[in-house]
Amino acid sequence: MNRFLKSALTVGYGLAFLAATSAHASYIDSNGLEWRDLTDTAEIIPNSLDSACDDTTFVCSGDVLSVSVDGWIWASIIEVRSLLSELTGLDVSVSNPSYAEPDSAWAPSAVAALGVTLTTGTVTASIGVSRDYSAAAGGYLKGEVWDYVTPRDDFVYTDRIMPGQIDDPDIGAFMYRQANVPEPSSLALLLVGFAGLGFARRKRVQKKQIVRALRTTKYKGKSMAQLKTLLIVTVFMLLNVGNAHATLVNVAPGGTATASGTYLTSTPDLAIDGNTTTLWNAGSWPTQWIEIDLGSVFQIVEIRAWVAQTPAGGTQHDVTLDGASDFSWIGITSDGDILNHNYATAASAQTVRITTTSSPSWVAWNEIEIWAQVPEPSTLALMGLGLAGLGFASRKKKQA
């Protein structure tokens, strides 16, 4: 039989087994993000961590109190809520209310996945600080899961504050990075590449001989044609084991910004330049809008907006995607606040417009970020390898 095909099947099943059984010390979520155990960063000072992380990408570098944070991303409270939703099975999408249930099944497993930062005779808990700072409250928002001994309720909190200058041994930091282990979908694409290139290496034979071989060659009672079908099924099984690996990228800087008005040199492009110290200013009171055209459709997972507003007060900002109403930010805001909206399921859109209908000040934004899923270069390369290999194999077959 075709020795390469036999080897490819063996490798394929081996990779599938490894993908399914690989153990990780940290929790890897459904998006392929590896979340750092909270105990690794317990007692870290938020203000010090903030100094070690980039203001735009939030990628951290170096050490903070002898703890290496190099290459880790400090998570937003929206990202933390998404993580806690996945771990608990609850819809932890808003800051209030908190979530409570007596003797829950989700609290012990969530605490085990995140790392136990606090333990007493009556409770074990996982507590971590996010990067989102509330100027009004004077601290950073935390994510918390509390697993109490009955009869007290287990809790999830995402609206409580930690002062930036405090070091608490019971509180870590929510940090993540791309998982280093290839996802099953990538492994499947690699298998396709190997199979395609392997078929291209077969010796040139007459068409009649190929047909005869496919009909008569057997391996454990299966013909070559059946084995090829089995290989294809294996590939698609691997593709469906996990979600396709994607990198989250702020795609706003690559877009074009327009607005209802501009004050002097505070042009709309300054709201998407990747710099939170510059701003777009409409030069007038509400109603005013700014729109970002991304140039093509993206799978949007989060929108963040840095508030430029004096004085503080009640505001309403309505967001539309491709002209359709999507959501609104309504509440008390002040200069320096960060507004976030996270999508449980990615939203497909090319244009994002933010219309401010209520504010005590001229309408302005320091920065607007639009985070979208972009396929990893390695995944694209593996797909290219597979397509190229299969295409070359087809060309060789025609020549034969």
What's the pLDDT at 259?
Answer: 97
Tell me: do 42 and 139 sit in the same domain.
Answer: yes
Tell me: do 209 and 254 sit in the same domain.
Answer: no
pLDDT digits (tens, 9 = 90+) for 42-65: 988 999 999 999 988 899 999 998
Last residue of a domain, one of 177, 209, 232: 177
Tell me: do 107 and 159 sit in the same domain.
Answer: yes
pTM: 0.46
Distance CA 141, CA 160 (A): 6
Distance CA 157, CA 117 (A): 15
Tell me: do 31 and 150 sit in the same domain.
Answer: yes
Tell me: do 57 and 90 sit in the same domain.
Answer: yes
Of 123, 120, 113, 117, whose CA–CA distance to 170 is shortest?
Answer: 117
What's the pLDDT at 164?
Answer: 84
Tell me: do 198 and 266 sit in the same domain.
Answer: no
What's the pLDDT at 178?
Answer: 86
| CA 320 centroid distance within chain | 22
What's the pLDDT at 396?
Answer: 54
Q: Helix, strand, coil shares of the chain as percentages rounded to 5?
A: 30, 35, 35
Tell me: do 218 and 268 sit in the same domain.
Answer: no
Which string of DSSP letters, residue by residue, matches 274-291? Answer: S-TTS-EE-SSPSSEEEE
Please give the single-letter amino acid code of residue 109. S
Could you give the count of Cα atoms lying within 13 Å of 262 in the half-sphere of its Cβ?
Answer: 14
Return the SS3 of 329: strand
Tell me: do 153 and 266 sit in the same domain.
Answer: no
Last residue of a domain, one of 177, 195, 217: 177
Return the SS3 of 63: strand
Distance CA 295, CA 219 (A): 52
Distance CA 253, CA 6 (A): 48
Query: What domain count does the chain have?
Result: 3
pLDDT digits (tens, 9 = 90+) for 293-317: 999 999 999 999 999 999 999 999 9
| CA 124 centroid distance within chain | 28
Last residue of a domain, one of 177, 211, 226: 177
Tell me: do 208 and 159 sit in the same domain.
Answer: no
Tell me: do 79 and 55 sit in the same domain.
Answer: yes
Using the predicted structure, report yes or no on whether residue 359 has a pLDDT greater than 60: yes
Using the predicted structure, report yes or no on whether residue 23 has a pLDDT greater than 90: no
Of 254, 283, 286, whose CA–CA distance to 266 is shortest?
Answer: 283
CATH number at residue 300: 2.60.120.260
pLDDT digits (tens, 9 = 90+) for 203-239: 454 545 554 554 555 554 545 555 554 555 455 444 5
Structure tokens at 216: 């008569």
Tell me: do 126 and 32 sit in the same domain.
Answer: yes
Return the SS3 of 371: strand
Domain enclosing residue 236, as ranges: 3-20+182-244+382-399
pLDDT digits (tens, 9 = 90+) for 63-83: 998 889 999 999 999 999 999
pLDDT digits (tens, 9 = 90+) for 108-156: 999 999 999 999 989 999 999 999 998 877 899 999 999 998 778 899 9
What's the pLDDT at 19?
Answer: 45
Tell me: do 353 and 234 sit in the same domain.
Answer: no
Percent of the chain with pLDDT over 90: 50
Do residues 169 and 43 lie in contact, with contact meaning Cβ atoms separated by under 8 Å?
A: yes
DSSP H helix total and E strand total for the chain: 8, 23
